[in-house]
């Protein structure tokens, strides 16, 4: 607890390094240490409408769409997401724009003063999340849109009582931290539910019992996909219909997955906020999120970047890939640039994509917990595989040899995407 704090004049990276060393572990679930510091900062009861989004996959797309729609309506929106892919500032946005370094640093100074006054240490995630909340308070945001980092019940985001809770889906990920069964994980996600608030469950699966129990205990107002609200893509793929009790609207498809766009629309309709259909449509058109079925043209080749890193996320990716190929029939083959972290379910991810990938180009990531080439190669047994020293070399190879009928898919980890984006930025 006695680490020497940087100064307000120091660089952002100096502060981020500091927060990485103040606490004994990078992840420490529980709110006992966080709540006193949050109360000291005065951020626990925002004078704002709060949307909190938990779930295994789809949180980023849902929060991005929520914020984009509310910004289009003219609300002053604070958006908090994690993790970032390229710059830490991606985690904290005001009115759709990343906050600058000095804004973060000034908030870090106050968070550090508060935690010292409470004689408590904070993990990196706790300190940086509280800084985001402080910025939203200082900027007098009308709406806070918050993405849960891990689980829900014990995540620092849960120090704030939401006005609307969204649970996107429940899958197996972070099993070391939040449980190794769907019901255990659902129990943690359900921790964001509060008495009598609207709860949107956007999963395609059967509603887990743990969420049913929490909704009942809180007398919350539950709205489930394919039961209380519905979405359907048009035949031409250019629009989709949203329907719920007494509401039907035709909306543009946008860049993000429809399931997540529909969850955002359902949450807004239950929030009590005044939002026009025009603002909903405009927000959906504008909502983009790097790394979520992110289609780009690189050296005249079509590249899809997707950060899916667990079986549920990759099933979702495959579904989107198949829909994309239906509407773009010139693409008949896929070249994958692929790497993952060692503690993820590599075998299951590969098994989902096998049969859809012509060739895999793999390399070990320069990240903590990276899977080595032997682990990747073992999972890809019987597949056509090329190994490289660096992931950007694998990407260069894919660009050089991909034909007009082939897509390049970059996937497996946020770290895979980050390494290639850094490479592309250096090439500019």
Within-domain flag for 227: yes
Same domain, 278 and 304: no
Within-domain flag for 5: no
What does the DSSP 8-state code read for residue 107? H
Q: β-strand 333-338 against 301-306: which pairing, if any?
A: unpaired
- The answer to whether 254 touches 261, Cβ cutoff 8 Å, is yes
pLDDT at 24: 64
pLDDT at 205: 83
Within-domain flag for 3: no
State which of 286, 315, 335 marks the end of a domain: 286
SS3 283: helix
- Sorted by sequence, the CB contacts under 8 Å of residue 85 that are 6+ apart come out as 290, 291, 307, 414, 417, 418, 421
Both tokens of 337, joined, read 């640039």
The pLDDT profile of the chain, 428 residues, written as one tens digit per residue, is 457 889 898 999 999 999 988 876 555 566 888 999 999 999 999 999 999 999 988 899 999 999 999 999 999 999 999 888 778 999 999 999 999 999 999 999 999 999 999 999 999 999 999 999 999 999 999 999 999 987 678 889 999 999 999 999 887 654 444 456 888 889 989 999 999 999 999 988 889 999 999 999 999 999 999 999 999 999 887 899 999 998 999 999 988 889 999 999 999 999 999 999 999 999 999 999 888 888 899 999 999 999 888 888 898 899 889 988 988 899 999 999 999 999 899 999 999 999 999 999 999 999 888 999 999 999 999 999 999 999 999 999 999 999 999 999 999 998 999 999 989 988 86
Same domain, 269 and 139: yes
Same domain, 279 and 303: no
SS3 268: helix
CATH of residue 345's domain is: 3.90.190.20
Q: In what order do the strands lie in the sheet with 247-252?
A: 229-233, 239-244, 247-252
pLDDT at 178: 47
- The answer to whether 50 touches 162, Cβ cutoff 8 Å, is yes
Same domain, 180 and 233: yes
Same domain, 222 and 313: no
Within-domain flag for 199: yes
Q: pTM of the predicted model, to two decimals? A: 0.85
State which of 235, 265, 286 marks the end of a domain: 286
State which of 242, 260, 286 marks the end of a domain: 286
Within-domain flag for 1: no
Same domain, 280 and 314: no
SS3 198: strand
Task: Name the strand (E) or helix (H) holding 396.
Answer: helix 391-401
Cis link prior to 83 (omega < 30° from 0)? yes
Same domain, 308 and 348: yes
Within-domain flag for 145: yes
One DSSP character per residue, 190-237 reads: GGG--TT-EEEE--SSPPPHHHHHHHHHHT-EEEEBTTTEEEEE-TTS
Within-domain flag for 6: no
Same domain, 165 and 228: yes
pLDDT at 175: 47
- Sorted by sequence, the CB contacts under 8 Å of residue 395 that are 6+ apart come out as 337, 361, 408, 410, 420, 423
Same domain, 144 and 211: yes
Burial of 374 (0-12, 13-18, 19+ CB in 10 A): exposed
Same domain, 251 and 366: no
Domain coverage including residue 335: 294-427
Q: What is the Cα–Cα distance from 92 to 79, expressed in whole angstroms? A: 6
pLDDT at 169: 85
Same domain, 258 and 306: no
CATH of residue 39's domain is: 3.40.1190.10
Same domain, 248 and 346: no
Within-domain flag for 7: no
- Measuring CA to CA, which residue among 85, 128, 45 is closest to residue 420? 85
Structural domain count of the chain: 2
Alpha helices in 23-90 (DSSP H): 34-41, 59-73
pLDDT at 21: 85
């Amino acid at each position: 607890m006695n680490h020497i704090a940087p100064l307000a004049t120091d660089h952002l990276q100096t502060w981020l390094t500091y927060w990485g060393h103040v606490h004994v572990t990078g992840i420490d679930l529980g709110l006992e240490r966080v709540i006193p510091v949050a109360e000291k900062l005065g951020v626990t009861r925002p004078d704002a409408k709060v949307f909190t989004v938990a779930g295994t996959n789809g949180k980023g797309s849902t929060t991005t769409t929520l914020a984009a729609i509310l910004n289009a309506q003219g609300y002053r929106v604070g958006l908090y997401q994690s993790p970032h892919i390229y710059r830490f500032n991606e985690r904290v946005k005001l009115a759709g724009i990343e906050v600058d370094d000095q804004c973060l640093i000034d908030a870090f100074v106050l968070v550090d003063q508060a935690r010292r006054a409470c004689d408590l240490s904070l993990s990196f995630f706790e300190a940086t999340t509280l800084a985001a909340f402080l910025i939203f308070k200082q900027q007098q945001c009308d709406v806070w849109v918050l993405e849960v980092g891990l689980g829900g019940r014990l995540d620092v985001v849960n120090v704030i009582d939401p006005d609307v809770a969204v649970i996107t889906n429940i899958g197996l990920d972070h099993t070391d931290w939040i449980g190794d069964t769907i019901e255990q994980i659902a129990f943690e996600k359900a921790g964001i539910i509060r008495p009598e608030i609207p709860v949107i469950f956007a999963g395609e699966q059967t509603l887990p019992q743990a969420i049913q129990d929490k909704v009942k205990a809180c007398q919350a107002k539950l709205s489930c996909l394919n039961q209380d609200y519905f979405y359907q893509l048009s035949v031409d793929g250019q629009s989709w219909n949203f329907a719920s009790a007494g509401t039907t609207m035709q909306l543009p498809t946008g860049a993000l997955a429809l399931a997540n766009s529909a969850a955002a629309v359902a949450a807004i309709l239950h929030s009590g906020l005044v939002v026009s259909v025009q603002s909903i449509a405009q927000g959906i058109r504008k909502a983009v999120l790097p790394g979520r079925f992110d289609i780009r043209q690189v050296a005249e080749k079509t590249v899809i970047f997707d950060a899916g890193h667990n079986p549920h996320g990759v099933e979702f990716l495959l579904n989107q890939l198949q829909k994309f190929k239906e509407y773009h029939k010139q693409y008949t083959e896929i070249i994958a640039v692929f790497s993952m972290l060692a503690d993820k379910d590599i075998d299951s991810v590969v098994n989902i994509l096998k049969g859809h990938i012509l060739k895999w180009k793999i390399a070990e990531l320069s990240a903590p917990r990276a899977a080595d080439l032997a682990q990747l190669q073992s999972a890809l047994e019987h597949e056509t595989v090329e190994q490289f020293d660096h992931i950007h070399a694998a990407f260069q190879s894919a660009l050089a040899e991909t034909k007009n009928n082939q897509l390049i898919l970059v996937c497996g980890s946020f770290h895979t995407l980050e390494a290639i984006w850094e490479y592309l930025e250096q090439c500019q």
